[in-house]
């Protein structure tokens, strides 16, 4: 079993819809959780971080965390074609781990 599992893609949604990206992780000691966006041919870019159970909203993006279920998600409201990218879930390991573990990513396509 992989340490970080993301819903298999690709995911396609129409413009204006809500895109839902899911991630489960195995390290119960993880305290910080990050979502990165990677456009084709580019490097990953940090877009959201979440540390406590519940929701965190930033513009059209909402991150949700449930540590008991070891589950973190990213919702993109009013999806735009410019949101088309691969989204990487990356929990930071237990205290003193010194690093994140990345999921394989979910590729999102938003169709006009």
Partner 1 sequence: NAGVTQTPKFQVLKTGQSMTLQCAQDMNHNSMYWYRQDPGMGLRLIYYSASEGTTDKGEVPNGYNVSRLNKREFSLRLESAAPSQTSVYFCASSLDSNYGYTFGSGTRLTVV
CB 93 within 8 A of CB 101: yes
Q: Shortest Cβ distance from residue 66 to partner 1 (Å)?
A: 19
Q: Shortest Cβ distance from residue 16 to partner 1 (Å)?
A: 29
Q: Shortest Cβ distance from residue 72 to partner 1 (Å)?
A: 13
DSSP calls for 50-78 = E-SSEEEEETTEEEEEETTTTEEEEEESS
Q: Shortest Cβ distance from residue 15 to partner 1 (Å)?
A: 27
The answer to the question of residue 65 lying near partner 1 (CB under 8 A) is no
Nearer to partner 1, 15 or 57 (CB): 57
Phi, psi of 29 (to 5 degrees): -85, -5
Structure tokens at 10: 């690709």
CA dist 9 and 111 (Å) reads: 15
Structure tokens at 8: 């298999």
**Residue of 84, 85, 103, 108 interacting with partner 1 (CB under 8 A):** 103
Nearer to partner 1, 44 or 74 (CB): 44
* Total site size for partner 1, rule CB under 8 A: 24
Among candidate residues 42, 10, 24, the one with its CA nearest the CA of residue 89 = 24
The answer to the question of residue 28 lying near partner 1 (CB under 8 A) is no
């Amino acid at each position: 079993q992989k340490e970080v599992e993301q819903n298999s893609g690709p995911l396609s949604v129409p413009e204006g819809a809500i895109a839902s990206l899911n991630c489960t992780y195995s390290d119960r000691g993880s305290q910080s959780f990050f979502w990165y966006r990677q456009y084709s041919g580019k490097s990953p870019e940090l877009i959201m971080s979440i540390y406590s159970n519940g929701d965190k909203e930033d513009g059209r993006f909402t991150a949700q965390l449930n540590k008991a279920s070891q589950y973190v998600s990213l919702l993109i409201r009013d999806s735009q074609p410019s949101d088309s990218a691969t989204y990487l879930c990356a929990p930071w390991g237990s205290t003193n781990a010194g690093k994140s573990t990345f999921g394989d990513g979910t590729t999102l396509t938003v169709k006009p």
